[in-house]
Amino acid sequence: MAAALFTLYEVTCAICLNIYTDPVTLPCGHSFCRTCFGAVLDAQGMSGYSCPECREIFRSAEKRIVIPCANSEHNRKCSVHKKVLEYYCCEDAACICVSCRLDGEHRGHQVETLNETSEKKKEKLRNILQKLTSQREETEERVQNLEVVKRQVRGKTAGETERVIALIRDIGEQLEDLQKEVLGEIFRQAAQVSLPISDLIQQLEIKKEELTRKMGDIKELCDMTNQLTVLQEQESNRADYCDAEDTERHDIKVHDVENLDVGLIAETLHSGLARIVTKVTRQPYMLLDVNTAGDGVSVSEDLKTVSLSEIFQSCPETPERFLWNQVLSSNSFSTGRHYWEVEGSESGGWVVGMTYPSIKRKGVESWIGDNYKSWCLENCDNLYSVKHDSKEIPLPLSPSCHRFGIFLDYEAGRLSFYELEKTQHCAASQRYCPRMSLYGSVSQTSPQDPQPGQILQITLRKSRLNPAITEQQIISPVLCFRYLQTW
C-alpha cells in the first residue's frame, strides 16, 4: 500500500495535484505539468525563474538556431498541396506530389516515381564513377611510367656521365702520348742538327788557333828591326800568308747547317690531334653499362674492366640492373664481322657471352646460358664449357687457358670462341636469327679471321649503330661471375 502511494506521489503535479499531463522536469529534479509550470513562469515575469516547490532559481536555456535538414519532413512535402512528394516530372525536372500530377500544372507530363528516377541517377553516377576510376588508374599508371622513365633518365645520366668522364680521361691519355711523340720528334731533330754544329764549332776552334799562331808570327816580323831578316821570313812564309788572306773563301759557311724542321713538327702535332678527334667522333669506345651491373660487381672508372666486389655496391634499383653478378655493355653493332679478346682470372669462375637485352634481370632465368636468349663460354674452376638454354657442352681445354678470342660473323649468324694459347677453335658455333644487332663491350678488328695477341680487355673502338633495329632484334655481350675472382 505504501509502495503504491509513493508511486502515485511521484506522478502527481505539486501545482494542480493531478497526475502529470505533458510533464516537464527542472534542473533541481522537480516535475510539473507543462501548462501549470507555464502559468507559474508567466506570473514570475522577467525578475527570474524559480522552482515552485523548492524555490531554486534557474535560468532559461539559451536559444539555438536550428537549420532544417534537407531530408526533413518539410522538404519532402509539396509546397502547394502540402502532400508528400512521390513523383518526378521529367519535363520540368521537379519533384511533385500526386495532386500535382493529377490536377496541378504537371498534369499530362511524363513522370516517374522518385525511386525510379533516383535509381537512374545512381546508375549514371556509377558510370561516371567507373570512368573516373578508370581515369585515375590510367593517371596512376602514367605516373608510375613517368617515374620509371625518370629513374631511367637518372640512370642513363649517370652512365653517360661516366662515359664522358672515361672518354675525356682517354683523350687526356692520348694527348700525353701525342706530347711524348711530338717532343720526341723535336729532340730527334735537335740531336740531328746539333751534331754537325758541334763538328763545325770544333773545326772553327782549330782554325781559330791556326789564325792566332799566324797573327803572332806576323806581329813578330813587324817588330823586327833587321830588314834582311824580315824579307827572308816573308818569302819563307808566303804560302801561309796567302792562306790567311783567302780564309773567308775556303771557310765553312755557318748558314749551311740545317735548322729544326718546324713544318714536320707541326705536321706531327696536327696529324696526332686529328687522329684523336677522329677516334672521338667516329670510333668511340663501347663501354660497360653501369646501369646493368649487379650490386656484387665493380666496374672500373674507364668502364672497360669489371671485377667482383667484396663490398656491396648498393646501386640504385633500375629495370635494367641485374640482381646477380652480371653486367651488359652499352652500344651495338648491326652488321659485319667482329672480333675481340677477353682475359679472365686464372682460378675461380667467370662467364662471357651474349644475350638479348630482354633477358630477365632476376631469378634463375636471368643467368646467361640458362635460357634461350643467351649463349656463353663458362669457366668453373678451370673446367670450361659452352652453354645455351641450360644445355651444356664440356670443352677439353688446358687449365692454364684464361685468354679467349670471340668472333662474331653477323651475316652468317655465327658466334665462335677461340683459345688464344693454342689458337684453336675451342667452342661450338651458335646460329642466330637474321637481322640481329650486337651490343658490345668488345674491340673490333679487321673483317679477317681473328688472330691472337691483341688483348684489349673489354674495349671497343669501331661501332656501326642502327637505331632502326628494335630491342627484340638486339643481342648483347654480357660478363658475369661465379666466384670471388678478378678479371
Residue-wise pLDDT tens digits, 299-327: 888 787 888 777 777 777 888 888 888 88
Tally the C-alpha atoms within 13 A of residue 5's C-alpha that lie toward its C-beta: 2
pLDDT number for residue 343 = 78
Rounded to a whole number, what is the largest CA-CA distance in the chain? 196
Domain parsing of the chain, residue ranges: 2-58, 129-281, 290-481
Mean pLDDT of 365-383: 85
pLDDT number for residue 1 = 44
290-481 CATH, one of 2.160.20.10, 2.60.40.10, 1.10.10.10, 2.60.120.920: 2.60.120.920
pLDDT number for residue 86 = 86
Q: Higher model confidence: residue 277 or residue 279?
A: 277
How many C-beta atoms lie closer than 10 Å to residue 291's C-beta?
24
Least confident among 132-141, 183-192, 440-449:
440-449
pLDDT number for residue 472 = 38
User: Which residues have CB under 8 Å from 289's CB, separation 6+?
Assistant: 159, 320, 327, 328, 329, 330
Q: What are 219-240's pLDDT values in tens digits?
A: 887 877 777 776 776 666 665 6
pLDDT number for residue 193 = 82
Give the Å distances, CA to CA, from 278 to 326, 461, 484.
Answer: 32, 11, 39
Q: Higher model confidence: residue 475 or residue 189?
A: 189
Mean pLDDT of 65-81: 64
Q: Per DSSP, what are the bridge partners of residue 33?
A: 23
pLDDT of residue 402 exceeding 70: yes
Q: Higher model confidence: residue 430 or residue 56?
A: 56
Q: Secondary structure of 413-468 in the HEC alphabet?
A: CEEEEEECCCCEECCCCEECCCCCEEECCCCCCCCCCCCCCCCCCCCCCCCCCCCC
CA 61 to CA 64: how far, in whole Å? 9
Mean pLDDT of 83-99: 87
CATH superfamily of 2-58: Zinc/RING finger domain, C3HC4 (zinc finger) (3.30.40.10)
Q: Higher model confidence: residue 2 or residue 300?
A: 300
**pLDDT band at residue 344 under the 50/70/90 scheme:** confident
CA 150 to CA 156: how far, in whole Å? 10
Contact 97, 83 (CB under 8 A): yes
- Residue identified by cell 652488321 is 335
Share of the chain above pLDDT 70, in %: 68
Share of the chain above pLDDT 90, in %: 5
Name the DSSP letter for residue 370: S
- One-letter identity of residue 309: S
CA 338 to CA 409: how far, in whole Å? 7
Radius of gyration of the chain measured on its C-alpha atoms: 54
Q: Check the CA dihedral 218-222-226-231 and report its sign.
A: positive
pLDDT of residue 436 exceeding 70: no
Contact 167, 281 (CB under 8 A): no
Mean pLDDT of 163-179: 85
**Cell of residue 457, nine digits:** 680487355
3-state SS class at 475: strand
Is 0.85 topped by the overall pTM?
Answer: no
CA 10 to CA 137: how far, in whole Å? 67
CA 68 to CA 54: how far, in whole Å? 38
Name the DSSP letter for residue 476: E
Strand 337-343 versus strand 403-409 pairing type: antiparallel
Q: Per DSSP, what are the bridge partners of residue 405?
A: 341, 418
